[in-house]
Amino acid sequence: MAGYTPMIQQYLKIKAEYQDAFLFFRLGDFYEMFFDDAISASKELEITLTGREGGTQEKIPMCGIPYHAAANYIDVLIERGYKVAICEQVEDAKVAKGMVRREVVQLITPGTKMDGKGLDEKENNYIATVTDFHNQSFGFAYTDLSTGESRTTVIEGRFDDLFNELSTIGAKEVVIASDFNSEWQKNMKDRGIAVLSFEDQIEDKESSFEKLLTILKDHQHRETIARLLNYLYRTQKRSLDHLQPVEPYEINHYMKLDYYSKRNLELTETIRSKGKKGSLLWLLDETQTAMGGRLLKQWIDRPLIAKTQIEGRQQLVGTLIAHYFERQDIRDRLKEVYDLERLAGRVAFGNVNGRDLNQLKRSLEQVPYIKQIVSSMDNETMSKLTQRLDACEEVTDLLEQALVENPPLSIKEGNIIRDGFNEELDTYRDASRNGKSWMAALERKEREASGIKSLKIGYNRIFGYFIEVSRANLHLLEEGRYERKQTLSNAERFITPELKEKEALILQAEEKSISLEYDLFLSVREQVKEYIPRLQALARAVSELDVLQCFATISEERHYIRPVFSDERRMMITDGRHPVVEKVLDSQEYVPNDCQMNPEREMLLITGPNMSGKSTYMRQVALIAILAQIGCYVPASEAVLPIFDKVFTRIGAADDLISGQSTFMVEMLEAKNAITNATENSLILFDEIGRGTSTYDGMALAQAIIEYIHGEIGAKTLFSTHYHELTVLSEDLPMLENVHVSAIEQNGHVVFLHKIKEGAADKSYGIHVAKLAELPAMLIERATAILTELEKGDTGKPNTAVASGSIKVPAKQEALSAAEEAAQLSFFAEPNTVKQSAATPKEKKVLDELKSMEVLDMTPLDAINILYKLQKKLKS
């Protein structure tokens, strides 16, 4: 440190406290970065890397950005998962003794961002915290700093349950203890949690904590949220008065949808594009406000399981459907409502400007009209909602009196406060305006007196006001009339005692006016801050109304019906449709399907060709259940549903490359998750379980899973398969029924009817599907010929089963030759149990040579060369 200049030493001391962040170090009108920060920032932000003398022989790497343009650069870094520490001059350079004092005034992170383009208006920006209690339980809490909402819970169980909560809220940042399990840290990063931050303080050390923790009685809840609050107060270094009391919640009070199920059902984003379009959220989002959009996503992520709560929402949706014109009026009014939650947050945070407060005023002006419309619907449940629509008239009146209609973006440039709001300000303004009028009058008078028509009175910051006369007209001036001030190449500038006196009055008035306006604006902001709890309560009511009108609008436009809930675990969906596929098809007619299940019919084994609609049918059943339990109507002509506590899916094929798991391993893990966590009140969707391994293994696994769910769990299960041999299970499993997706052949081509019918499918039509995919004609002909030969080997006998509980094997599979059996390597077989045909002496020599090689010590090129030589020996 001793070798560096005092300024660089100051930088390094501050940087030492923020090693994991870019330090924006304020020097005059720029934020500068040095050393590694400068090298990295120059690449990320595509700005010039330069050098600076710092007391050492070599120049220190440096780059910088203008402070007034910093917001855009910060957005770029935050979007890429970095943190930015803002270091400002906190001392006036004119009065500083020695080096100007600088401090970090805020740490901006992906989880603490308050505004900017990186903040999606219809998505929460959550920062979460995790506390390991070392007793198979985790404390979990999260906050959206931009809205002030906070929740906490205790998760009993595995780390996977914790990660499921993290994925549910889409946490942008996770705060943990410095000694948090390193393997779990790696696991979180591997699964997409890019930013981990550390906080070891878990005491309620801030006095403002108590009002946030009043509801919490459990010490685990308090300890968990205190870690997060300490981190926020330490890094943000400003008022967080908008933080709402922390709300405890229980995971089992909502339908459990794990990470895999949300992904497979495409609830909030599609599997392929990771975008909103094509998801259930995309279909439903007819919300008119940003806060309504965020609440809709929260409801989709956490469907209800309490029947009374669900039916309460349904009743409100029904009322809004019945009042079409009132609903349209509500939608029109909601369009004029800005984001009350985030506006309240910015008021408390201190980064709100005049335009933001005018948005707040215009939003509040809509509330009385919305309240009147809602109260006109004579309904008991609506009247409760009406009572929560607090218009906060005091805030509206204050802002109307205080702010001009179109204030500037900056709050330090004046012209933000209305005339008549403050008497002292009006006096300054009058002096300033009259002074300028006096200047204009003086200019006219001097032109007439001197006869110089080009004479003008100007102003600049260095010389103030002056009289300017061009050099060509100087001879017209009366000697001694003005006092010379400045000589230019083509003009002379003069002043008079009267002009300087007026200048002092005008400039003093303008300076005091701007200073007073700034103070008045801060005073108005502080007064608005007192109403933050009421504004947040209003925001919750408005966002609920917005989501409910959204449900009503979608339900009416798409002809959804109100489902009925059964206490006898019955499911009767008549003419059910997949809501998203139906919308995507648009003008094409969607083929509806029924789904009948009850305590005597718990499992449906679904067979049928590829592309016929098995997966769509399964998904539509799950989506109908989820729609019903968030309080929306459902796409069917009639629906009686049980209330599901959990939904599990195994649909589609996907490798988990990050953790090195194959498609089949992912399939097995998802199946295990469902089997170990499902109850009789759950819904399980299994699509093509076992297809990732050999035929025997796959069929054995599929049958064993079916039997286990049937005998041990009893959950409502839809199980699709291409193993037609499994359809005979209905003979032994009383609660299993076969259904199939029908298809017909016409002129050698297959036509998918997309209709679910009772019984098992008779054909798979695999070659027909290949023909639809336009595989080469020669390949299709060859496949057809091979299929014919294989079918000749079928004895025609029905599938027969061996001992009870074992796999049911068709006759044609029983007749497999030893060579064929050896070709189908079992996933579970011991290495020495696989049958092999006898090798020739030459082949045995090659095999022995292969066994003696140390493959792991070879380079890829060596391995390929050796493989080529061995193959050549075998061929010869």
Q: Kindly report which listed range (231-235, 478-482, 782-786) carries the lowest average pLDDT score.
A: 782-786
**Do the strands 22-27 and 84-89 form a parallel or antiparallel pair, or are they unpaired?**
parallel
The reply to whether 582 and 697 lie within a common domain is yes
Last residue of a domain, one of 801, 829, 858: 801
> Which residue carries 């109304």 as its tokens?
545
Asked whether the beta carbons of 717 and 605 are under 8 A apart, the reply is no
- Asked if residue 749 and residue 614 are part of one domain, the reply reads yes
With respect to residue 786, please indicate whether it lies within any of the assigned structural domains.
no
Q: How many helices (H) and strands (E) does the chain have?
A: 29, 29
- Pull the structure tokens for residue 180: 């948090």
Asked if residues 227 and 175 have their Cβ atoms less than 8 Å apart, the reply is: yes
Answer yes or no: is 830 within a domain: no
Give the CATH number of the domain where residue 193 resides: 3.30.420.110
Instruction: Judge contact between 83 and 195, C-beta under 8 A.
Output: yes
How many percent of the chain have pLDDT more than 70? 89
Q: What is the pLDDT of residue 794?
A: 53
Q: Is 222 left (phi over 0), alpha (psi -120 to 50) or beta?
A: alpha
The residue assigned the tokens 């097995």 is 668
Residue type, 94: K
* Cα angle 603-609-611, degrees, rounded to a multiple of 5: 100
Range with lowest mean pLDDT among 349-363, 392-406, 578-592, 777-791 = 777-791
- pLDDT of 812 > 70? The answer is no
123 phi and psi, to 5 degrees? -135, 140
Q: Considering the domain boundaries, does residue 308 fall inside one?
A: yes
Count of beta carbons in the 10 Å neighbourhood of residue 538: 23
* Residue 488 per-residue DSSP state: -
pTM, entire model: 0.82
Say which CATH number the domain at 371 has: 1.10.1420.10
Compute CA distances 559 → 214, 277, 631, whole Å. Answer: 45, 21, 16
Is residue 702 over pLDDT 50?
A: yes
Amino acid sitting at position 547: V
Q: Give me the helix-helix angle, 532-557 and 307-322, nearest 10°.
A: 70
Pairing of strands 736-746, 603-607: parallel
Phi-psi region of 59 (alpha: psi -120 to 50; beta: other; left: phi over 0): beta
pLDDT in tens, 378-426: 777 788 889 999 999 999 999 999 999 999 988 988 899 999 999 999 9
Q: Are residues 376 and 437 in the same domain?
A: no
Burial 80-97 (b: 16+ CB within 10 A, else e): eebbbbbbbbeeeeeeee
Same domain, 717 and 573: yes
Q: Which residue positions form the known binding site?
A: 608-615
> What is the per-residue pLDDT across 565-577, written as a single tens digit (0 to 9) for each?
999 999 999 999 9
Q: C-alpha 659: how far from its chain's center? A: 23
Residues annotated in a binding site for ATP: 608-615
234 and 321, same domain (yes or no): no
Q: Mean pLDDT, to the nearest integer, of 781-803?
A: 58
Contacts 24+ apart (CB under 8 A), 663-668: 663/692, 664/692, 664/693, 667/692
Query: Is the per-residue pLDDT at 47 higher than 90?
Result: yes
CA distance 226 to 229: 5
Question: What's the N-to-C CA distance of the chain in angstroms?
Answer: 73
Count how many Cα atoms sit within 13 Å of the Cα of residue 111 in the half-sphere of its side chain: 25
Q: Higher confidence at residue 639 or residue 241?
A: 639
Residues 720 and 685 in one domain: yes
DSSP-derived secondary structure letter, 712: I
568 and 716 belong to one structural domain: yes
What sign has the CA pseudo-torsion 647, 653, 656, 661? positive
Distance CA 632, CA 286 (A): 13
Does residue 25 carry a pLDDT above 90?
A: yes
pLDDT, residue 748, reads 62
Q: Please check whether residue 398 lies inside any domain of the structure.
A: no
Q: Strand pairing of 173-176 and 126-132?
A: parallel
Same domain, 589 and 724: yes
Query: Does residue 827 fall inside a structural domain?
Result: no
Who contacts 206 (Cβ-Cβ below 8 Å, separation ≥6)? 229, 230, 233
- DSSP string across 202-240: -S--STTHHHHHTT---HHHHHHHHHHHHHHHHHH-S--
SS3 442: helix
The pLDDT value recorded for residue 298 is 96
Domain containing 478 equals 423-520
Same-domain status, 640 and 749? yes
Q: How far apart are CA 876 and CA 868, in angstroms?
A: 12
| 613 & 647 share domain | yes
Nearest alpha carbon to residue 683 among 642, 737, 651:
642
pLDDT band with cut points at 50, 70 and 90 for residue 664: confident
Domains contained in the chain, number: 6
Residue 118 inside a domain? The answer is no
Residue 108: helix, strand or coil by DSSP? strand
The side-by-side arrangement of strands in the sheet containing 456-460 is: 456-460, 464-470, 491-495, 483-487
- From the list 331, 400, 341, 408, the residue with the least C-alpha distance to 365 is 400
Per-residue pLDDT reduced to its tens digit, 746-786? 666 667 788 999 988 766 666 667 776 677 878 877 777 87
The SS3 assignment for 12 reads helix
267-276, 669-678, 816-825, 836-845 — which is least confidently predicted?
816-825
Residue 553 neighbours by CB distance under 10 Å: 21
140 and 17 share one domain: no
Least confident of 120-124, 155-159, 362-366: 155-159
Q: Which CATH number is 53's domain given?
A: 3.40.1170.10
Helices 35-45 & 70-79, crossing angle to 10 degrees?
90
Domain assignment of residue 808, yes or no: no
- Position 823 scores a pLDDT of 41
Statement to judge: residues 548 and 588 lie in one domain: no
Residue ending a domain, among 231, 253, 275, is 253
Question: Considering the domain boundaries, does residue 834 fall inside one?
Answer: no
Confidence bin at 531 (pLDDT 50/70/90): very high
Scanning 377-530, the segments in alpha helix (DSSP H) are 380-387, 393-402, 423-450, 497-529
CA dist list (Å): 847 to 22, 838, 842, 867:
59, 12, 9, 12
- Among 58, 74, 108, identify where a domain stops: 108
Average pLDDT of the chain?
86
Average pLDDT for 121-134: 93
